[in-house]
């Protein structure tokens, strides 16, 4: 599970009254296979494929997606922080804006992980595995793993 937090760290001086409305407790977006949201068999398959076992080579699709898209996540977070500050300064609910920002980040990261599952080709399946499942894509058999990737914004 990959997590991202936004939290208020400091109000300079008295600050603008609206900035005090920024929630002091961080909101979190969990992306991947959040606990309680994913069937245990799918969760197990994701874990075994991502980290590997004695018989299954490591195919770190979650870390690969996160590494490949780190700069776009950073850009989203910077733009999101500006939106949160602007909301606070204009009297809007910054907590609501924070959840929306994290929702956008969650949608982006979910899509990136799904794309990584689709495009990952190495290490390749063994010939016996290809014959058994009828596909050479290491992480696609029924599409259930890819379809199970989700995100959850938590306060």
Q: Are strands 150-154 and 2-6 parallel, antiparallel or unpaired?
A: unpaired
Bridge partners (DSSP) listed for residue 152 = 30
pLDDT of residue 102 exceeding 90, the answer is yes
Round the average pLDDT of the chain to a whole number and report it.
Answer: 84
pLDDT of residue 54 exceeding 50, the answer is yes
What pLDDT was estimated at residue 18?
A: 56
Reported pTM: 0.81
Long-range contacts of 15-21 (CB under 8 A, 24+ apart): 16/88, 16/89, 18/88, 18/89, 18/90, 18/91, 18/94, 19/85, 19/88, 19/89, 21/88, 21/93, 21/94, 21/95
pLDDT of residue 15 exceeding 60, the answer is no
If one compares 38 and 117, the residue with the highest pLDDT of the two is: 117
What pLDDT was estimated at residue 129?
A: 85
């Amino acid at each position: 599970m990959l997590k991202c937090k936004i939290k208020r760290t400091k109000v300079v001086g008295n600050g603008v009254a609206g900035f005090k409305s920024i929630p002091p407790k961080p909101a979190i977006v969990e992306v991947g296979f959040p606990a309680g949201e994913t069937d245990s068999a799918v969760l197990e398959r994701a874990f075994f494929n991502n980290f590997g076992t004695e018989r299954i080579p490591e195919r770190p699709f979650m870390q690969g997606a996160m590494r490949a898209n780190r700069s776009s996540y950073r850009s989203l977070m910077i733009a999101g922080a500006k939106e949160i500050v602007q909301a606070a300064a204009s009297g809007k609910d910054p907590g609501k804006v924070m959840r929306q920002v994290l929702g956008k980040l969650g949608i982006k990261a979910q899509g990136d992980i799904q794309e990584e599952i689709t495009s990952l080709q190495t290490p390749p399946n063994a010939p016996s595995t290809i014959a058994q499942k009828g596909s050479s894509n290491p992480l696609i058999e029924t599409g259930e793993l890819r379809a199970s990737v989700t995100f959850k914004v938590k306060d």
